[in-house]
Structure 1
Amino acid sequence: MIDYFGRNFRVKMSSDSAVPFPKGPLIVGFGGAAVDFLAVVAGFPKPDDNIRSTNMKVQGGGNAGNALTCAARLGLKPRIISKIANDLQGRAVLEELEADGVDTSFFVVSKGGCSPFTYVIIDSHTRTRTCIFTAGYPPMIPDDLSRDSLLSALDGAKLVYFDGRMHETALFIAREAFCKNISILVDAERPREGLDELLTMTDYLVCSERFPQAWTKAASIPRALISILLKLPNLKFVIATLGGNGSIMLEQCVDDGRQIEEKDVDSSLESLARQKEDGIARPTCIASSVTKFRAEGIGSVCGRLYVGTAEKIPPSKLIDTTGAGDAFVGAVMYAICNNFSPEKMLPFASCVAAAKCKALGARSGLPYRGDPCLASF
């Protein structure tokens, strides 16, 4: 590679080693792939402060890049569609993804412009991180991807994943996947332009803790999940990730006319949460029976409610939460493609996300399928 000063050298970021191309089910992902510049500091700086980092790393990033790297390490066969520039950072993005077995054949590489990158500041005292993102230029548009190329990318895919970015191109890809009856999973961090239409074609939704209420204006997360399923009847399930507090999942079930008990969804969640066993370090899942869940003023849906717990990570081992949500999503994709039950999927995804949090950066700690931490799955 050539650096900013024209010198030739080979860039190696954080992938530990090249791995054989995965042989599992094919998935296709569209979204962000970037470079992360990570710096660990003793405390987040105040205005006009001059501080020093205690650790640093340059590593691949971006929601789609991270989630698909996770899926590759677990054994899926990921193919990514995204855009970079022909610069040092863009070439490094490709190199790291390829080393992890992600197919980058459908990347669009612009001759000019710049590749996306993020400054990530990790506060070692509060165990929090702050991200400063710089978007790539020029942005990806539908004309960057011919229909023939898209059809080739989707050929044989079992699942298509979107991180909600670059909405015009995302919708172009999603419409084709929808017409081909390929399942769609969306990772929703926050409401974005074009997301509403994308969600109408979605089978599986994984969202941040803030998204359900921000999107529905409901008074609680459980009520918001009811609203989401009512607005999006094609959804099979919706998961809200809660960081160190685990996750909540509402799975839609068929109402076959049998006498099904009706319950308030907020009360039902409280009842399930009380069943969690204190002191259990490993992630678990508590599930309801098939119930008609009611949200006053919103409506009701027939489904099952799940409470997933997070792994209890000792403070000494909690290094960095950057990309934990992407790791969770990558594990959910693996679980879907391998027909895991929700009771198995949520603890599995939590274990994968916890492993990531024990290393600096979004990818260093991502486990491989044979990792001892996943042996019970």
Structure 2
Amino acid sequence: MYVYILLQLYHQVPSSHRRKAEGREWKMTTITTSLHPHCNTIATVLSPLCRSSSIGNHRVQLHKKIPHLFLSSSSSWSRNSSRARMSSERLTPLPEDRIVVGLGLLSVDYLATVASYPKPDDKIRSTSLKVQGGGNSGNALTCVARLGMSPRIISKVANDNQGRDIIEELETDGVDTSYIVVSKEGNSPFTYIIIDNQTKTRTCIHQPGYPLVPDEISSANLLSALHGAEILYFDGRFPDTALEIAKEAVSKNIPILIDAERLREGLDDLLELADYAVCSAKFPQAWTETLSIPTSLVSMLLRLPKLKFVTVTLGEEGCVMLERMSDDPQMEEVDVDSLLDTLKQRKDDTVTVPTCVISPKAKLRAEGIGTLTGRLILGTAEKILPSELVDTTGAGDAFIGATLYAICAKMPAEKMLPFAAQVAAANCRGLGARAGLPWRSDPRLAPFLN
């Protein structure tokens, strides 16, 4: 029975992660399992996973007891694993080794939860403390890996304990870390994150490491990293290196998605090469110096003719996408701000799951900016019960990871936005940027993946 259980544990790990693990040296690992309240059994298994293993929706900590409820009996385990296999078999299959390449920040996150955010000169205690990997690109590509794709990350850490932990955690989740530069000097980036348990908001204090410069990525490594890539993603860090990689990607017709979180040095040059952009709530208006979100989106697409769509995320208010469409001179003009107001009126506030409201194709007019043919899409966020909302850290990164998946899976916009919102909402139910990221087999994702 014990061998059967261990085999079931192995087969619940996504195949892309098993393929990656099987290419590395296997380590002897001991798992203490509690199969009965009065019977602890030591089972020695071969495991490629270093500290922990993610199995389905469960996190199994190595060298610790697996909860009795998780492995209660062989019969209940058989029923649960059979349901998991049946659910997995119904998922729409993805081509093997669908590759997403990302360049950007990696860090260690120190997450301290407090009852309420401190006032100046206060001394308070945290109610919990958690340490985990972070950084926009690391979070987004972890999301991509859990959804069943094969991400590669280009970044830089230091040769310190934090850097080794960053790499180890990514590898455990199935992210290819072969293209991470390890510096002999300096420190790996880290972030202090204070989570206000009262308002469910977070405050981030970041300490950067040494930047990744173009000379640290050889031509051979760059070509290897981009080989077979379906899409390239930038989080806006390391602008000089990012621009060199982006130019190479354009020459190979690899589409580019930019995370436009805030105004950064070199971001304008990257945006000019981008096919897709996902922006924070404040970015479009700050970048275009316009007064409304719809007007700013029209302005962005007019200034960036290569962009196919731009999405702005609005937290619990959902998101708005402007999708470029072929020009039609016969179409009547529609004021884009008024159109968004109309979409908001059509939204059904009684629905708790993510949905979207779509405008028909139109010639959208932004006062004082110009016109663009396209459609405006209003996406809603999931209504999460207060008792289930844990932390919003990394919700935007989860949204981007799901968007990368959706682009590669050729999801239409009306399916992409609710899917990305669902993934982001799942992540808000865990502490930190990665604990709540769902796996491809998560039943909450079944409506989008079946």
What TM-score do you get using the length of structure 1 for normalisation? 0.94
Report the more deviating stretch, 224-233 or 248-257: 248-257
- 1:91 corresponds in structure 2 to 164
Unaligned runs of 5+ in 1: 1-9
Q: Secondary structure at the residue paired with 2:162?
A: helix
How far off its partner does 1:17 sit?
5.5
- The answer to whether the 8 A contact 1:14-1:60 is kept is no
> Distance between the aligned counterparts of 1:41 and 1:268, measured in 2?
42
Residue correspondences, number? 363
> Distance between the aligned counterparts of 1:305 and 1:219, measured in 2?
17
Q: Secondary structure at the residue paired with 1:44?
A: coil
Tell whether 2:448 aligns with 1:361.
Answer: no
- The answer to whether the 8 A contact 1:229-1:252 is kept is yes
- The answer to whether the 8 A contact 2:101-2:226 is kept is yes
How far off its partner does 1:187 sit?
0.4
- 2:252 corresponds in structure 1 to 180
Deviations 1:25-50 (A, max 9, x none): 10100000111000100011122222
Q: Secondary structure at the residue paired with 1:271?
A: helix
Tell whether 2:197 aligns with 1:145.
Answer: no
| Greater Rg by CA | 2
> Distance between the aligned counterparts of 1:261 and 1:347, measured in 2?
29
How far off its partner does 1:76 sit?
1.3
Report the more deviating stretch, 139-148 or 79-88: 139-148
**How has the CA–CA distance of structure 1 residues 42 and 14 changed in structure 2, closer, same or farther, with 3 Å as cutoff?**
farther
- The answer to whether the 8 A contact 1:34-1:61 is kept is yes
The structure with the largest helix share of the pair is 2
Tell whether 2:145 aligns with 1:76.
Answer: no
> Distance between the aligned counterparts of 1:17 and 1:339, measured in 2?
33
> Distance between the aligned counterparts of 1:24 and 1:44, measured in 2?
44
Deviations 1:62-112 (A, max 9, x none): 000000000110111100000000100000000000000000000000112
How far off its partner does 1:372 sit?
1.1
Q: 1:235 aligns with which of 291, 307, 314?
A: 307
Matched AA of 1:363: R
Q: Secondary structure at the residue paired with 1:48?
A: coil
The alignment-based identity, stated in percent, is 62
Deviations 1:267-295 (A, max 9, x none): 00000111110211000011111100001
- 1:25 corresponds in structure 2 to 98
Q: 2:402 aligns with which of 308, 326, 331?
A: 331
How far off its partner does 1:135 sit?
0.1
- 1:6 corresponds in structure 2 to none
Matched AA of 1:52: R
- 2:390 corresponds in structure 1 to 319
Deviations 1:183-235 (A, max 9, x none): 00000111100000100100000000000000000110000000000000110
> Distance between the aligned counterparts of 1:11 and 1:58, measured in 2?
16
Q: 1:129 aligns with which of 202, 209, 218?
A: 202
Unaligned runs of 5+ in 2: 1-48, 62-94
- The answer to whether the 8 A contact 1:13-1:59 is kept is no
Q: Which segments of structure 1 move beyond 6 Å, counting only runs of 4 or more? A: none
- The answer to whether the 8 A contact 1:85-1:114 is kept is yes
Q: Secondary structure at the residue paired with 1:104?
A: strand
- 1:288 corresponds in structure 2 to 359
Deviations 1:271-325 (A, max 9, x none): 0111110211000011111100001100010001100000000111110000000
Supply the RMSD in Å over aligned alpha carbons: 1.5
- 1:351 corresponds in structure 2 to 422
> Distance between the aligned counterparts of 1:128 and 1:266, measured in 2?
29
- The answer to whether the 8 A contact 2:53-2:172 is kept is no
- 2:346 corresponds in structure 1 to 275
After TM superposition, the structure 1 = structure 2 runs for residues 110-259 of structure 1, keeping only pairs within 5 Å, are 110-136=183-209, 138-257=210-329, 259=330
Tell whether 2:176 aligns with 1:103.
Answer: yes
Deviations 1:152-209 (A, max 9, x none): 1000001000000111111111111111110000001111000001001000000000
Deviations 1:216-255 (A, max 9, x none): 0011000000000000011000000000000000000011
Report the more deviating stretch, 222-231 or 142-151: 142-151
The structure with the largest strand share of the pair is 2
